[in-house]
Amino acid sequence: MTAIDPEKAVEVKPNLWWIGWPDYDAGFSNNPYLLIEGDEVVLFDPGSRFDTHWGWVKKKIESIIPVSKITMVVVHHQDPDLCAAIPLVEEEIGVNNFEIVTTERTSLFIPYYGVKTEVTAVDDGESIEIGTEGRELLFITSPYLHFPGAMVTYDTKEKVLFSSDIFAGFSLDWSLYANEYYLEAMKVFSQPYLSDTRHVKNFLRKIEGLDIDMICPQHGSILQGEIIQKAIDTLRDLEVGVWE
């Protein structure tokens, strides 16, 4: 597998970049993504506000497009490793000069970070059209995985599932794309962080009909090809909600 330069944004699909930071010591990568379609510039799960973290993310965005061009921030739940940097995004762009999209339950917590921009709440199955070519971001709620108001996003054009903490992994041996060890890394993350098997099964039923070409989780590695089905099968049979 080709090694990537973690200091650089990596284009994983046309106009879709991984702009995250691997924390090799903790075995914990954080994976914000940037998607550009026409005039729409969408930032998924911006991340933490540590200088080192947001510093990397900002530098990577700036290597593609000025941060001020971001039009939408999608957050999949309210955890600080996704949301704490939103006020820093606001400092760059200005309050209410971009849209924040999440579920209603999550929207209640976003202001707790000091965010002043109004939050757009979306329902399960709702989509937002981006650009002018009919590309849609479809939002699918994923209750209790691992927060009641959690959701994921499906990009209808490139068939990418932005899966947040589902399909996420912990690994000291991190690679941008999932390798043969990734299912183990995914188990290590999923057992303590995903709440209950019935919620996992419910979620997997909801995504059953989707044609998924790539899964972009918020931690761990990007999945494409055969490992997608293996990961789905692994999660379906995994005992979760376990912390020993």
Task: Give the footprint of Fe ion on this chain (CB under 5 A).
Answer: 79, 81, 165, 218
Cβ distance to Fe ion smaller for residue 76 or 135: 76
Shortest separation between residue 211's beta carbon and Fe ion, angstroms: 26
Burial (Cβ within 10 Å: 0-12, 13-18, ≥19) of residue 209: exposed
- Least distance in Å: CB of 47 to Fe ion? 9
Minimum distance between the CB of residue 98 and Fe ion, rounded to whole angstroms? 22
Please, which residue, 40 or 79, has the CB nearer to Fe ion?
79
Environment class of 51 (CB within 10 Å of its CB; exposed 0-12, middle 13-18, buried 19+): exposed
Task: Decide whether 117 or 218 has the Cβ nearer to Fe ion.
Answer: 218
136: buried, middle or exposed (CB in 10 Å: 19+, 13-18, 0-12)?
middle
Nearest position to Fe ion, beta carbon: 79
User: Measured from the CB atom, is 75 or 93 closer to Fe ion?
Assistant: 75
In the complex, minimum distance from the CB of residue 85 to Fe ion, in angstroms, rounded to a whole number: 13
| Residue closer to Fe ion, measured from CB, 155 or 165 | 165
At 26, list the tokens: 């903790």
Least Å distance, CB 189 to Fe ion, is 9
Nearer Cβ to Fe ion (131/192): 192
Helical segments of the chain, H only: 51-62, 80-83, 86-93, 104-107, 182-193, 197-207, 227-237
- Distance between CA atoms of residues 33 and 41, nearest Å: 11
> Rounded to an integer, what distance in angstroms lies between the CA atom of residue 46 and that of residue 98?
14
| Cα–Cα distance, 37 to 34 (Å, whole number) | 10
Residue 132: how many CB atoms within 10 A of its CB? 10
CB of 95 to Fe ion, least distance (A): 25
